[in-house]
Amino acid sequence: MEGRTLLQMPEQVRALRNAWPSQVSRVKGLTSDLEQEFRFGQQVTRTDQGFFMGGTMKGGSSSMWYPSTKDDYRAFRRWQDAEGIREGRDDEAYENLFALVEEHGVEIVTCRKAHSRRSRPDPEPYTGYGMIYREVYGMLSALPAEHLSRPELQRIQFGGWGPDAAKASAYVDGTVMMYDFACRGAKRTFLGLFLHELGHAHEVALSEPTKDLLAKHYTVLSEHDAFLGVEFLVDGHTRKLYQKFVFNEFLAETYMIYASCGTALRESIQDFPAPARAAWEEVYAIFRESFCGIEYE
């Protein structure tokens, strides 16, 4: 440990390294089918006409709703308490986060009432994202200050949509966009997606020679199918496929894994066959340098 700077992400971020445990046996009324729907952003709401289940389709601005039941509504509320994102004020988290990003010249905007693919920001930041503000503050505080102060990260958007309505989040022209889909679903999904989109800001900031070197090692990893899959939004196998076929997705996902699953990443590297292990060791060293020498538990 001597000579190493070893930091720690918040507890729920570090939990990404573990399989996503089912809540079916813990949450009354929750079934496997309902859990899958809720984890993919579906909600149950109560209206004057009764109970309805639905939400955005594929993370986009289009939505679909259909009749549901009071039992499903109760199960949804209990699931929200267990692993969802509940709206509510957290003034301390709000103040801490906005002070941190202001120090680094990063703007935060919220978009809650947009019904088009291009969201209009709220006149004033929405205070009801208290849980999100607390988690994001914890993540940003654990990153190198250099990652917050660079021109590749200018803006963070919570809620609304972006230029591509078929996603849960995006990184576009210096802006990390966390769509309504991400801000109203499972907390685990939000945490993974947020770090992943920060990873796109990171890969854009890397120099071309560095990316060329990473691409060389990536070719070896692809040949040996030596990727790590972290389960959020979709299963770990699907997340491995994203990386295997798109280099930029590999870089963004590696950023997320490096910061959230440091110990697990180092242990996994040792389990790969020799060529893949050597390639991963080089990739890890490059990321460690890009994180200013910081490593994570």
Please report whether residue 192 resides in a domain.
no
Please report whether residue 11 resides in a domain.
no
- 24 lies in the same domain as 136: yes
Domain count, the chain: 2
Burial status of residue 222 (CB atoms within 10 A of its CB: 0-12, 13-18, 19 or more): middle
Give phi and psi for 157, each to the nearest 5.
-115, 130
DSSP 120: P
Q: What pLDDT score was predicted for residue 184? A: 87
- 227 lies in the same domain as 90: no
Sign of the Cα torsion 289, 104, 157, 23 reads positive
Please report whether residue 195 resides in a domain.
no
Give phi and psi for 108, each to the nearest 5.
-115, 130
SS3 content of the chain, % helix, strand, coil (to 5): 50, 15, 35
Please report whether residue 267 resides in a domain.
yes
Q: What pLDDT score was predicted for residue 1? A: 46
In the predicted model, residues of the chain with pLDDT beneath 50 are 1, 59, 115
Is 198:156 a contact under the CB 8 Å cutoff?
A: no
How much is the CA Rg of the chain, to the nearest whole Å? Answer: 20
Q: What pLDDT score was predicted for residue 261? A: 96
- 210 lies in the same domain as 181: no
Instruction: Tell me the pairing of strands 63-67 and 50-56.
Output: antiparallel
Q: What pLDDT score was predicted for residue 167? A: 72
Please report whether residue 200 resides in a domain.
no
Containing structural domain, residue 79: 20-185
- 24 lies in the same domain as 165: yes
Measured CA angle at 191 (ends 185, 192), to 5 deg: 100
